[in-house]
Homo-oligomer: A and B are copies of this chain.
Amino acid sequence: MCRARRYPNRKHEDRKWHPTNVAKTSNFYPVILAGGRGTRFWPLSRKKRAKQLLVLDGKRTMIQQTVARLLPLAPRQRFWIITNDDLRPAILQQLPKLPKPQVLAEPLGRNTAPAIGLAAFLLLREHPEAVIGMFPSDHVIADEKSYRATIERAVEIAAAGENIVVLGIRPSRAEIGYGYIEAGSNFRGDVLRVRRFTEKPDAEKAAAFVAAGNYFWNSGMFLWGARTLANALREHLPKTALLLEEIAAAFGTRRFAATFRKLYPKCENISIDYAVLEPRSAKGEQASNLFCLPADFGWNDLGSWTALHEHHTAKSRPPEGNLVTSAGVFFLNARGNYVHAPGKFVAAVGVSDLVVVETGDALLITTRQHAQDVGKVVKHLDEKKLHKLV
The interface size of chain A toward B, counting residues with CB under 8 Å, comes to 42
Tell me if A341 and B363 are in contact (CB < 8 A): yes
Q: Is A351 an interface residue (CB 8 A)?
A: yes
Q: Which of A350, A363, A369, A373 has the most CB of B within 10 A?
A: A363
How many copies altogether? 2
On chain B, the residues within 8 Å of A367 by CB distance are 349-351
Mask, A366-390, CB within 8 Å of B = 1, is: 1101110110110011000010010
Complex Cα–Cα for A297 and B199 (A): 64
Q: Is A339 an interface residue (CB 8 A)?
A: yes
Tell me if B345 and A365 are in contact (CB < 8 A): no
Q: Is A346 an interface residue (CB 8 A)?
A: yes
Q: Is A333 an interface residue (CB 8 A)?
A: yes
Complex Cα–Cα for A381 and B330 (A): 9
Tell me if B380 and A362 are in contact (CB < 8 A): no
Closest to A359 in B: B344
Knowing that A347-B365, A349-B366 touch, tell me 20 more A-B residue pairs with CB under 8 angstroms. Answer: A326-B363, A337-B365, A339-B363, A339-B365, A344-B358, A344-B362, A345-B361, A345-B386, A347-B362, A347-B363, A347-B374, A348-B364, A348-B365, A349-B367, A349-B376, A350-B370, A351-B366, A351-B370, A354-B354, A356-B365
Q: Could you tell me the distance in whole angstroms from the C-beta of A304 to the nearest C-beta in chain B?
A: 11
| Cβ 8 A contact of A377, one of B43, B343, B347, B380 | B347
Closest to A354 in B: B365
Q: Could you tell me the distance in whole angstroms from the C-beta of A345 to the nearest C-beta in chain B?
A: 5
Mask, A133-155, CB within 8 Å of B = 1, is: 00000000000000000000000
Q: Is A328 an interface residue (CB 8 A)?
A: yes
> Top 4 nearest A-B pairs by Cβ distance?
A350-B370, A349-B366, A347-B377, A348-B365
Tell me the chain A residues, 17-73 only, with Cβ under 8 Å from chain B.
Answer: 42-43
Q: Could you tell me the distance in whole angstroms from the C-beta of A375 to the nearest C-beta in chain B?
A: 10
Q: Is A1 an interface residue (CB 8 A)?
A: no
Tell me if B389 and A345 are in contact (CB < 8 A): yes
